[in-house]
Structure 1
């Protein structure tokens, strides 16, 4: 475990949920613009590193606390002058917290009190303001062009020791000054008449909220349980307790439960009950904590009525960790009873059954869930290993099998061949999903995975039936509705897809960036281009690493007549290290539409947006294309060795390459380093076969969903007289004499 002392800056947008609710399109556009024009340049100027973006918030690390404070001041000064034409109610304003403290580094993220204190300081800051810790002040005072107001020691939530806090003064007249403050930030002395008026107004608001906003059925959000073990490495266990509770409650038809992504958006943030309830549209909120140490667990949980702020139910469970499933069962029963929900007999039986009787298997499963959510290739590989170990310990562990299938399908769908070869990933996903269905037929996740697999394989009716089965088994599961929307849009049923997405949004108002990008694609095909752009812009802002979101956004921009923005999105996508979009690639990776006209609609938009035909910057302009008979004679000339040999290099990277074309029309590539001896060659790709079809040279392998990857052969004027271009390589070559 790596630790270091570092400077941490956290920020969030004041009133983000209100702004998005009032004008999602405009708010997101302003947020993207101010990040591009104010926030990101300031972070770059002062050498900050963005650890992660969290919806409306950001976590940034600096090697120097002076740079961190300089950056915070530059951002807030820039934001004060930015977008003056926007009304005060609609302007983007930030709160910022800065701390110097010890952190723990794990899985490309940072944890510990150093981060937590920065987040708590952010919540103390006024709109447009900055609060810093005493440790930050001690190192930065007199070294930055700001003033300070000392707020004294403040007791911060879940921080054991009171922290000295200073407010940054940005007025030029306050530079170098350190003032004392007579009261805590945000507190005001009000006259009795004003207090009385506020009380009356509050009662009226609560009454109106109760009578007009609360759904008829009980609605609840389960916020992330805090890990009180003192070890950030145990976060996965507290998250697992929370997710199991959400999953089980979502199975009850008499209860509306907010999905994981929306609930977990509040991790590490100060909880204002009325704000959470208003943001998520719920009457009740569950919060709690988990402490796991020395073979014991302690779980504290409480159900609060958001209208009154009072505890409806609370309990504490102290047990050996081997009894974690009994704790979950008892907590769930008490919570359901407190909510006044009477489960159906079948629902009661489902939620009473523990996922496994093997605690070690459960622990590996939870570890897999944690690393799988990171989405990077290393995390996906580790997740599969964790799930595999869990199943080795309990071969009937349906949840672990289902998670394995979901992850393998994700790897297959995104053709992450570095993690698993495409065909292997597909077979694994089918196999694990089938086993999960066998051991626990009531589990929605295997049906969702099966729906995706069937959809990409072109079995559209079967995929819709599988997704509908998942929805029936998990009526409160937002992921099930997202899956249904996904398969319906590729099947050409755009109205049905849109209806499924709307239900998902009710269950999960803060969809993950991946799911929001699916929603954007659905809106695009359903003709709701403004909503498509809003959803895709937000998905990109919150998840810029997602490959496909920029492609869908470019298509939506093009259909909306915003050609400059469309071309900018394509350009940005090309610059992503994991992406090199081309129309040829789209025909391999996104061609699983039931109706050719729907795919043609997308391709036409992308061509208008400026997506190139071929990858790696290859252009065919001015090159003469070979015809079928010329390609046949070039690649399939009989030789005494029995195979045709073509030497050259491939893009990207100009790797030296040799292609052997056998008499059976099977081929093998060997590649090496450009300019290096042949002894350093390595096997690159073993294709199943090669053929010619209507002036196209077609390769087929186990990758690319088993689809033929057809390209064109051109004459060239350089050392290598021919070029073959398809979706994943540009091969400059000449036949061996």
Structure 2
């Protein structure tokens, strides 16, 4: 389409979020400079980070408002809810009344100017919806509601068709009511249980300060807040907001009652105890339905840098919790009648099967994932996990390398086309690029996955292997070692041990690598790759007799090991010659 001047007009479909500050004129009348400073802080500390987190673009700010463009209405609504929750949380701690936003969201066609500004009915309707919203509220159009109603755990109230200024047709509007699993506001905890959602759900209760020192209260609160934030990055997990969970602060808590009131399946609780220069943090994950303790850990640290300790513990807690939640959800799905298992249940059950690294389990996992894709063809994670299953199948020589890696790549690309921010897809696609020798692109893709989920131990391990292949052996050891420290007991740990041993081998730390590689073949005896690395390590250490025993075991589970076959497989990797040198010293035939 061209404009009357002959210039081509750029159009696209977008979700538009319009927000303004309620009572702006009155606030300016009371304190003009202070209000402007508060708005700048709001933009810097809340609006810009939340918009960035949800892949939006802040188009412009007006004196009292913000205009934001999103490619996805789901992300637009998520962002709006997070912004309002952040403002509500700040208001509970502020000495003066907090700023309140009214937010309207519409999905429609827009015109994009050369300077990035946007116009059109898509924008105009969003602005009108904003005016219909209450202070602290969100109002969305019928188009947005249709897109998010089955994808987000939020309740909306139908406000009917509204005639709004300068819009020819009436606009169907819906008012955001609540997160379906959100507790009442602090001070008004309800005894009525909420219905459990289909997806996994968790509440992080305020950590107890066991120090007897009120000065440590900030650390206990900070731990819980940071863990809530980090868990919120796991998009498959519904995390109750701080504003709801901190209603329980200072109260004697019955975990099961709290879970009923918050409408969640899992509760994380913990405590902080400081003594002199040391601090101890404990945490435990509980299945509230039966009181079962799924995970518990204690962390003892020197309190030299309080924020560094806080960051480290948060990362470790989240990394440890995630795989345990996967395992519990898989167990829950397997104990349901087959016809009642939802798409999420199929995927998480498949993941547990893949982790066994056994041929039959892998076949069962792939069958579940293909069922999930038939049931919900737009579910990106199902394609991404299937790509991971195909990688295992190919690496274990259960199918041809060429066909397997091609399918792995195709599935990962399909997942990314459906959801460009799916971390499993980024990892799988990045690793397929690494396998093909495209190291720079591989590292970029896999690093993006870790930026989305920094506490993902499996993603960090695979990133370490990609670093090794690209020639960054010291960095590789650091990444694979961090994965083991982050989550030493989960179901992926056998993989972590094996690949940490491989990166140590690549760094010529053969003695250090040996124990890890020995453990890896015990954990996954059916995986030829672990045997290959152990044979090479034994060769470098002169343990020829042990190497020969492993060669015999290795040849029973895959094509006979030869220097030529391994060179062909590893030829694009920086550690190839070192690996081959160890094989020759171990007596592997050419």
From the two aligned structures, give the one with the greater helix fraction.
2
Same fold (TM over 0.5): no
The structure carrying a bigger strand percent of its residues is 1
Which of the five TM-score ranges fits, normalised by the shorter chain? 0.3 to 0.5
TM-score of the superposed pair, with normalisation by structure 2 = 0.44
Task: Please say which structure displays the higher CA radius of gyration.
Answer: 1
